[in-house]
Every structure is written in structure tokens, then in C-alpha cells.
């Protein structure tokens, strides 16, 4: 697809859905049916919505205008709904470079509008106003000041400051009249649909949990604090920043957030992830690394060096089992906050702890070199090779970052594992080991990303439609390519010829290493990789996933396949006990 064709497609697949959601309150759902750009939380590739809200009291408030991907379609929809000059307040749940681009186009049309935001957001906006000459006043909301805003006709807005390392300026808004919580990033999901509400709660849960795992899990402590603040309110609707609005599952999703955050904080092992970011690229890399760590069952505490105190950094470095630092390079140097944090970590973290380094840069990467050399000179052992990303990370790079995080976590778990005395397997464990499964290789390919794993926990599950289940460990790299709706291939190995593929796919792979190097494969018409040494293959689509302890049980339906060797028998995997593969 040419660049112009891609642009035409993007424009055709973006629109704004406008609906009433409460008294005098409208939602403007800026929708993208295709993936906007790759970040780890967009990886399910189900599109997204950026939800904005209009409240019409005696005064009018616009809450959370979208980012730059939607600027044109949003402005057109807004102007068809209301004269922007009539808007009195623009309430911002957070500020980032994308939203600032929309504000630059929006605020000149709102000559009387006051911007309402948290103090960190106001600091970022003042620089923009100076640069652009915008004159809109800013009403700063500070934590602990119990601020509010009376729009008239009963609409009384209350503001809740909920900072996190990724969104240090985060602020939620509650309308006590309509009992709507405008929750911005909290309780969101990246999913584009015609349904504006959470009618399909069970199918939506996977998307909500994935979003939490990517965006909120590294900030579990701050999430818990935010949930405590929300106990003072009684919302009947979560007006989220992304995805369907939560009307039917408000209590349930709030409880799940608490459970997920508690699970994250309760991890026996934890890693502190310290970073700063100039343009958002380093933050994106940090999120990918954090995702890889948490999926391996290790906790993460994210710290934004630009907002944290030296005492917070010192405490986290002392109690964590390992630490990872990331930095952009600005003018050939690391930001002052990173240099300060580096000194704290070097003095506080035991030399036995595992270390990691990452960063992004435009023309050079001196900040990454600085971190690497300081930790190397101090005698720290690295959990992965330093990650250097020029400009914006792409999908393949982020997959490598996630794998690096998983490898880091697995090394921590191995170093903490005490070798148990050898004991005789129980009768039950021996009996479970007698379950026999076909020896297969699961392969998955999405664009430039591909992965594979050896699998023997495979069983037919249905006749109509034809389907089967396969168990996938949560810390497998391929797990991210096997969410509901994703496609993959199941390659069935031959008895007597399975040892070569088995040995190849059992070996450890470095982050980003080609798992198919030296393996004869071909690509099907559906775009999946098939092993030439397999006796048969099935082309499959993930129809559902069940969370089962340390594994996902994936149910897949079969759309195609072929037997390539009618005379060979299927290789099967015999085990002595059910406690290991």
C-alpha cells in the first residue's frame, strides 16, 4: 500500500460517534477501526476509541479532547454539535504531545475557555502557550485542595488527583449530579466497536485486563491509592478515555482493578524500573519491558525520575531484587534527573542485584552508554544486553523489549530458586504424567513479528466447529500473539523425526532472535508459517482463552490445514510425572 493509499484508508476508517450518556452530557467517541500506531497496549490490534465528553449546564465543559490522530475528524464533529466559542472550560485528565497538538488547533476556537488541569499538566501547557501565543487562562487543580467547579443546573464537577509514573498529571473528574466518573486512562480498553457500552462484559474482560497489564500493573501502588480515593464517590458510569463506557460492570471492574493491583504488589520478587522520557519513546520502551516482567510473574514498580524524590528511588532500589534504568539522550547527555537517580541507585543497590539498561535517542546514545558503563564498572550483572532504540520503537523492537523483560524476570526467579530435595513423585503426579499429547510446534506470525513454541498439551475439543485446546505458559514469547481473534498454525510432528525440531524449539532464544533460523518453513496463503518437516498442519483462530494458573488454555477453531505425510505416525510425548513438561 502506498503512503497516499494508506492515508486514504486511515481517513475512511476514522469517525466520531456522538451519543447522550446522562443528563445534559454527550460523548464524542473518536473511533479508529485500524491500528493507529504500535505501542504495547495497542498490540491486540482491535482499533481504539478516544472518548471526549460535553456537559451543558449554565456553563459548558469539554472533557478530554483526543490526540492528534483524531484532530480533524473531532473538530468537524464538535463544530457540528456546538459553537466552540460557547465552551467555557476544557478539562484535561492528562497532557501528552498528541493531545497538545489537538489543543493547539482547538483552543484558538475557544476564546473564552479556561483550561482545567493538574499542576504538572499546567507546567507542560505553559511552555506550549508561550511557544504558540495562546492566551487561554489555566485553572490549576492541586492535590488535597478539594477543588470543584459549578457548571450550573446541578452539574458540580469534583476533581481527583491520581498521579502515576506514566501519567504524573493524571486527574479524574466526577459529576455529582449525573453520578458519572470521567476516568480518563483508568478502566479503559483499546477496542473499537459500534457498542458504546459494556454490553458484552465477558468478552470485554480480556481487553480490559490486557490494558491493565500493559499500562497499570507497573503502577500498582498508585492504582491502589487512586481506588482508595474513589471510595468517597458513587459513580454509576465510568466515562472512560478509551473503549466502551462502563455502565453495567462498574462495581465488578472496580473490584477487579483492586484484585489485579493487589496481585501485582504481592509478588515475592519485584523489579524497580526507573526512567525519564523526553518525547514518550523511552516511556513506550519501559512499558514493553514492564509487560515482559509482569507476564513472567514478577512484580514491577515504575518510577518516573522526573517526579520521584531521591528517598523514593533509594527505598525502591534497596528493596527490589533487580533494577532497570532507561534514559533519552538530550544534547549528548542524560537528563539531570537520571544522573541524580543513577547516583542514588549506585549507592543503594547491592552489587548482587541484576541490572538492565535501555533508552531512546535521535542522533546519538550517550545516555545509554553512561548507564551501561557505570553499572559495568560497579560490578553489576546485566539481565539483558543494553537496549538502544533510535527514534520511535516499532512493533518488532517492542516485542524484543518485552522478551528482554521476560528474560530478566526468569533470571531473577532462577537465582532465588532453592533447589528442593529430590522426592519421589506421588501416585497422583505419576498418573497425571500418563496423559499423552501430540508433539507439535505452534507458530504465529503477525506482520514482521513471528514466534514459535513446542507444545504437547494439545487436545481436540469440538467437532462443530472443528476445534482444539492448547496450553500456553504465560511467560512464553508467543503468548502475546495468541489473544482472542489472532491466527496461528499448529504443526504436528512425526514419530521418529521429531527430535530435531524438538531440540531446536526447546533451546533458549535471546530477545529478538529468529526462532526459525535453520528451519525449513513455508508461508501459507493465510500468512502463517508451516514447518516443512511436519506431517500435518492446521490453520487456526483463537476463539477464547481461559486463565488457568501459570498457563493460558487457548481454544482455537480450525479454518484450514493439510496432511503432508499420510504414512507417518504422530509423535507423542510421554512423561514420568505431571509436575513438569
Q: Encode 215-247 in three state secondary structure.
A: HHHHHHHHHHHHHHHHCCCCCCEEEECCCCEEC
pLDDT of 143 strictly over 80: no
pLDDT at 12 > cutoff 60: no
Q: Running DSSP on this structure, what letter comes out for residue 268? A: S
Q: What is the mean pLDDT of residues 526-542?
A: 95
- Mean pLDDT of all residues belonging to the chain: 92
pLDDT at 38: 56
Q: Is the pLDDT of residue 6 over 60?
A: no
State how far the Cα of 320 lies from the Cα of 329, in Å rounded to an integer.
26
Task: Please give the grid coordinates belonging to residue 266.
Answer: 504481592
Residue 155: name the closest of 182, 185, 118 by CA.
182
Residue ranges of the alpha helices (H) in 43-87?
71-81
The residues, ordered by sequence, that sit 6+ positions from 49 with a Cβ below 8 Å of its Cβ are: 29, 30, 31, 32, 191, 192, 242, 243
pLDDT value at residue 11: 47
- pLDDT tens digits along 284-320: 999 999 999 999 999 999 999 999 999 999 999 999 9
- Is omega for the bond preceding 469 within 30 degrees of 0, making it cis? no
> Is the pLDDT confidence value at 537 over 70?
yes
CA–CA gap between residue 383 and residue 320 (Å, rounded): 14
Beta strand spans in 534-573 (E): 536-548, 551-563, 572-573
User: What is the pLDDT averaged over residues 322-346?
Assistant: 96
User: 103 vs 436, which has greater pLDDT?
Assistant: 103
Residue with cell 500435518: 536
Summarize the confidence of residues 526-539 as an average pLDDT: 94
Whole-number Å distance between alpha carbons of 505 and 480: 18
Residue 9: predicted pLDDT:
40
Q: Kindly tell me the burial class for residue 393, based on how many C-beta atoms sit within 10 Å of its own C-beta (0-12, 13-18, 19 or more).
A: buried
Question: Looking at the domain 427-573, which fold is it?
Answer: Pnp Oxidase; Chain A (2.30.110)
d(CA 233, CA 181): 9
pTM of this structure:
0.87
Q: Where are the domains of the chain?
A: 11-263, 268-416, 427-573
Q: What is the dihedral of CA 392, 397, 402, 407, to 10 degrees?
A: -130
Query: Do the Cβ atoms of 479 and 399 come closer than 8 Å?
Result: no
Structure confidence by residue, pLDDT tens digits, 482-501: 999 999 999 999 999 999 99
Give dist(CA 56, CA 50) in Å, integer.
Answer: 20
- Backbone angles phi and psi of 541, in degrees to 5: -130, 130
How far is Cα 489 from Cα 530, in angstroms, rounded to an integer?
A: 7
- Cβ neighbors of 207 (< 8 A, separation 6 or more) are 44, 46, 189, 190, 191, 243
Per-residue pLDDT tens for 373-416? 999 999 999 999 999 999 999 988 999 999 999 999 999 998 88
Q: Is the pLDDT of residue 10 over 70?
A: no
Q: 1 or 20: which carries more pLDDT confidence?
A: 20
Asked which of 130-144, 483-497, 562-576 is least confident by mean pLDDT, the reply is: 130-144
Q: Look at residue 156 and tell me whether its pLDDT is greater than 60.
A: yes
Say if residue 34's pLDDT is above 80.
Answer: no
* Lowest-confidence pick of 389-393, 418-422, 572-576: 418-422
**526: Cβ contacts below 8 Å, ≥ 6 apart:** 487, 539, 559, 560
Cell numbers describing residue 360: 531512546
Does CATH number 3.60.15.10 belong to domain 11-263? yes
Among 200-214, 259-273, 426-440, 517-531, the minimum mean pLDDT is found in: 426-440
pLDDT beyond 60 at 107: yes
pLDDT > 90 fraction of the chain, expressed in percent and rounded: 79
As a CATH number, domain 268-416 is 3.40.50.360
User: How high is the pLDDT of residue 1?
Assistant: 36
The mean-pLDDT minimum among 69-78, 175-184, 503-512 falls in 503-512
Amino acid at each position: 500500500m502506498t503512503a497516499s493509499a494508506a492515508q486514504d484508508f486511515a481517513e475512511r476508517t476514522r469517525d466520531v460517534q456522538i451519543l447522550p450518556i446522562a443528563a445534559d452530557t454527550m460523548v464524542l467517541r473518536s473511533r479508529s477501526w485500524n491500528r493507529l500506531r504500535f505501542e504495547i497496549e495497542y498490540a491486540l490490534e482491535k482499533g481504539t476509541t478516544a472518548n471526549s465528553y460535553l456537559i451543558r449546564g449554565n456553563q459548558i465543559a469539554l472533557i478530554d479532547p483526543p490526540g492528534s490522530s483524531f484532530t480533524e475528524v473531532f473538530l468537524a464533529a464538535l463544530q457540528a454539535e456546538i459553537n466552540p466559542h460557547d465552551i467555557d472550560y476544557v478539562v484535561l485528565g492528562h497532557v501528552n504531545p498528541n493531545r497538545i497538538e489537538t489543543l493547539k488547533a482547538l483552543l484558538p476556537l475557544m476564546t473564552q475557555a479556561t483550561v482545567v488541569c493538574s499542576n504538572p499538566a499546567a507546567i507542560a501547557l505553559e511552555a506550549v502557550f508561550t511557544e504558540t501565543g495562546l492566551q487561554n487562562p489555566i485553572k490549576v487543580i492541586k492535590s488535597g485542595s478539594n477543588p470543584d467547579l459549578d457548571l450550573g443546573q446541578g452539574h458540580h464537577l469534583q476533581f481527583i488527583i491520581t498521579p502515576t509514573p506514566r501519567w504524573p498529571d493524571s486527574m479524574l473528574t466526577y459529576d455529582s449530579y449525573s453520578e458519572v466518573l470521567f476516568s480518563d486512562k483508568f478502566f479503559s480498553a483499546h477496542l473499537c466497536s459500534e457498542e458504546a457500552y459494556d454490553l458484552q462484559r465477558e468478552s470485554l474482560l480480556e481487553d480490559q485486563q490486557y490494558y491493565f497489564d500493559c499500562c497499570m500493573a507497573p503502577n500498582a501502588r498508585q492504582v491502589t491509592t487512586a481506588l482508595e480515593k474513589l471510595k468517597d464517590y458513587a459513580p454509576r458510569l465510568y466515562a472512560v478515555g478509551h473503549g466502551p463506557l462502563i455502565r453495567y460492570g462498574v462495581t465488578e471492574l472496580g473490584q477487579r482493578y483492586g484484585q489485579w493491583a493487589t496481585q501485582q504488589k504481592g509478588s515475592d520478587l519485584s523489579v524497580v524500573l526507573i526512567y525519564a522520557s523526553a518525547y514518550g519513546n523511552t516511556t513506550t520502551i519501559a512499558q514493553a519491558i514492564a509487560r515482559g516482567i509482569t507476564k513472567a510473574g514478577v512484580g514491577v514498580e515504575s518510577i518516573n525520575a522526573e517526579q520521584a524524590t531521591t528517598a523514593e528511588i533509594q527505598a525502591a532500589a534497596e528493596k527490589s531484587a533487580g533494577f532497570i534504568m532507561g534514559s533519552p539522550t538530550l544534547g549528548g547527555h542524560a537528563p539531570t534527573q537520571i544522573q541524580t537517580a543513577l547516583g542514588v541507585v549506585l549507592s543503594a543497590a547491592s552489587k548482587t542485584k541484576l541490572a538492565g539498561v535501555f533508552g531512546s535517542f535521535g542522533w546519538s546514545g550517550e545516555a545509554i552508554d553512561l548507564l551501561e558503563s557505570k553499572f559495568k564498572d560497579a560490578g553489576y550483572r546485566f539481565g539483558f544486553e543494553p537496549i538502544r532504540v533510535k527514534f520511535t520503537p516499532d512493533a518488532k523492537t517492542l516485542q524484543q523489549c518485552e522478551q528482554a523483560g521476560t528474560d530478566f524476570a526468569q533470571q531473577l526467579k532462577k537465582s532465588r530458586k532453592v533447589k528442593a530435595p529430590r522426592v519421589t513423585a506421588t501416585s497422583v503426579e505419576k498418573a497425571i504424567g500418563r496423559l499423552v499429547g501430540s508433539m507439535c510446534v505452534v507458530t504465529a506470525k503477525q506482520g514482521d513479528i513471528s514466534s514459535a513454541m513446542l507444545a504437547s498439551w494439545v487436545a481436540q475439543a469440538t467437532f462443530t466447529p472443528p476445534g482444539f485446546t492448547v496450553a500456553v505458559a504465560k511467560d512464553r514469547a508467543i503468548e502475546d500473539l495468541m489473544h482472542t481473534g489472532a491466527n496461528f498454525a499448529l504443526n504436528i510432528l512425526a514419530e521418529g523425526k521429531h527430535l530435531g525440531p524438538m531440540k531446536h524449539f526447546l533451546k533458549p532464544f535471546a530477545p529478538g532472535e529468529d526462532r526459525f533460523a535453520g528451519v525449513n518453513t513455508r508461508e501459507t496463503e493465510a500468512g502463517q508459517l508451516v514447518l516443512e518437516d511436519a506431517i500435518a498442519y492446521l490453520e487456526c483462530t483463537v476463539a477464547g482463552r481461559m486463565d488457568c494458573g501459570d498457563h493460558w488454555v487457548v481454544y482455537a477453531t480450525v479454518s484450514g490445514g493439510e496432511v503432508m505425510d499420510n504414512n507417518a505416525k504422530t509423535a507423542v510425548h510421554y512423561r514420568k510425572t505431571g509436575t513438569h513438561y
